[in-house]
Structure 1
Amino acid sequence: MRNSDDCIAVYGHRWNFYGNTDDINVRNSTLWADIAHPINIGTHGDTSTEGET
């Protein structure tokens, strides 16, 4: 997968959704990000709320 942004992004928070994320699998993949990150996992900039990612 070749993108200019994040190839795979997993967020624990996005807009009005707050929750946890678990059991994510990425297999047999080639990730190529021209500008951003191949894999981005986290809270999407909101560290004021708790959650597990």
Structure 2
Amino acid sequence: MAKLHLGQKSVVRIRKIIHVDMDVFYASVDQMDNPSYAQKTVPVVGSFAINNL
């Protein structure tokens, strides 16, 4: 938490982290576009960049 100086209002900051795993979504879309993938294992791969938060 950030330090507050005298005379400032107290503020509580809550950090929320939401994780959404989109792998199943991308695989489902790919299976809809290409029905030959139905009932098969569909790998979902890619690259990502780590940003400073």
Indicate the structure with greater helix content. 2
TM-score interval (norm. to shorter): under 0.3
Scaled by the length of structure 2, the TM-score of the pair is 0.23
Q: Which has the larger radius of gyration?
A: 2
Indicate the structure with greater strand content. 1
- Choose between structure 1 and 2 for higher RCO, CA contacts under 8 A separated by at least 6 residues: 1
Scaled by the length of structure 1, the TM-score of the pair is 0.23
